[in-house]
Amino acid sequence: MKIDENILKENDEDVLQKQPEQTKNDLLLILDKPYKFDDKSYKEVDLSGMEDINAEALSKIERSFSKKGISAVQPEVSVSYAVMLATEASGLPIEFFNGLPAREAIKLKNMVVNFFYA
């Protein structure tokens, strides 16, 4: 059975055209509303520092997690872990992330989960 090369080329082009364009940083937490912290208003938080986090930093986060008495089968899918990781990645204090509205905290958690598992 011979495959028509023109059909393959057309299908390849369709696939390429259907790919979503990468227009925004996947590690940029866009806040629904401006969030005020320490007299500064934030509309977004850059979490691209997660790309640079190594095993030592993850171990440090896990130790902090344990010291706080937090127990989870998969800590990386919890809001608490996401807050600690975001603190490490962004350089912002933990109080910044602990004060986020619930909806923003879930977006943060989902961003961390996607970072590890997507």
CA pair distance 3, 77, nearest whole angstrom: 46
In this prediction the pTM is 0.75
CA pair distance 32, 111, nearest whole angstrom: 15
pLDDT tens per residue across span 19-71: 444 334 789 999 999 999 999 999 999 999 999 999 999 999 888 888 888 87
All structural domains of the chain with their residue ranges: 24-117
pLDDT tens per residue across span 97-112: 999 999 999 999 999 9
